[in-house]
Amino acid sequence: MTRANIIDGRELATTLRASVAAQVAKLRRRHDIVPGLAVVLVGADPASQVYVQSKERATVEAGMASFDHRLPADTDLATVLALIDRLNRDPAVHGILVQLPLPAGIDSAAVLQAIDPAKDVDGFHDLNAGRLACGRPSVIPCTPLGCLMLMRPHVEGGFAGKRALVIGCSTIVGRPMAQLLLAADCTVTIAHARTRDLATECRRAEILVAAAGCPGLVRGDWVMPDAVVIDVGINRVPRAGGTGTRLVGDVCFDEAVEVACAITPVPGGVGPVTIACLMVNTLAAACRRFGFSPPPEALV
């Protein structure tokens, strides 16, 4: 059996970011428009700080304006909502991203629903989620969009009719991922923590997306031979010998790579493409604001 192709997320992310930078430069040159992304971070969660720094760096490298808003962990809901309202009305801001999770005591749903749907570059607003569910997406959540891009070149014969399994039913990844695969004419199953005999469900899937947040959940003998495996999991586990930690996915990579047709690694798979897709969605939001066609990468 041939060892799986390892899908290089960093390579795709580099291509996407270069394309966005070129289109941003054209917008600036021809129309004096600079897409702007505002990132809101409440509290000092170390992982969230790293993510926010990566997003801000990517924004600047793409030639877009970056607006950084950091609030202390004891900020109340009213203050956060007032900031969102101000950003909604700011013409220099075309995209708004609130870094999750928010501290306990702040209603995440209330914050996300307060964002202008036209500036919701994460695609989490109910209006954008509903449009996706109806098959008429305007904003596609960054991680599912990236997953679709990563798997597309490796799905032999196209998506139509393929059996796809999504493990995880979050509104951030699992549910929108299932909607995208359904729109691509796959036969889609959603599994989760209460799914019985998950191994059997996995063995039926020609496309397997693992987004459960459970390290090493999917074993190699659960994977259908020649399946395309997209591992969204980012889990920090102790290193052998107890010296520090390392990142692993939801799939036992060393086992699945011997069975699958193609597989994403962790790290270096989905993560870099998610940030690149945030740049794509911010550019698309700016284009729509001024009546221009969004970049082709933002469409499915």
Query: What is residue 244's predicted lDDT score, i.e. its pLDDT?
Result: 86
In a domain, 191, yes or no: yes
Q: What's residue 242's pLDDT?
A: 72
175-211 pLDDT, tens digit per residue, is 999 999 999 999 999 999 889 999 999 999 999 999 9
Q: Looking at the structure, do residues 100 and 164 belong to the same domain, yes or no?
A: no
User: Has residue 2 been placed in a domain?
Assistant: no
Instruction: Looking at the structure, tell me whether residues 166 and 267 fall in a common domain.
Output: yes
For the entire predicted model, the pTM comes to 0.95
pLDDT at 275 (0 to 100)? 97
Tell me if 13 is assigned to some domain: no
Q: Please spell the DSSP secondary structure of the chain, one letter per residue.
A: -PPPEEP-HHHHHHHHHHHHHHHHHHHHHHH----EEEEEEES--HHHHHHHHHHHHHHHHTT-EEEEEEE-TT--HHHHHHHHHHHHH-TT--EEEEPSSPPTTS-HHHHHHHS-GGGBTT--SHHHHHHHHTT--SS--HHHHHHHHHHGGGSTT-STT-EEEEE---TTTHHHHHHHHHHTT-EEEEE-TT-SSHHHHHHT-SEEEE-S--TT-B-GGGSPTT-EEEE---EEEEPTTSSSEEEE-SB-HHHHTTT-SEE--SSSSHHHHHHHHHHHHHHHHHHHHTTPPPPGGG--
Q: What is the pLDDT of residue 274?
A: 97
Q: Which residues of the chain have pLDDT under 50?
A: none
74 with 184, same domain: the answer is no
Residue 127 is predicted with a pLDDT of 97
- pLDDT at residue number 1: 52
Q: Are residues 258 and 189 in the same domain?
A: yes
Q: Which residues are catalytic?
A: 55, 99, 122
Question: Which CATH number fits the domain that encloses residue 161?
Answer: 3.40.50.720
pLDDT at 240: 81
> Is residue 108 located within the same domain as residue 209?
no
The count of domains in the chain is 2
Residues 167 and 212 reside in one and the same domain: yes
Query: What confidence tens digit (pLDDT) does each residue in 107-149 have?
Result: 999 999 999 999 999 999 999 999 999 999 999 999 999 999 9
Same domain? For 110 and 151 the reply is no
Domain that holds residue 81: 32-118
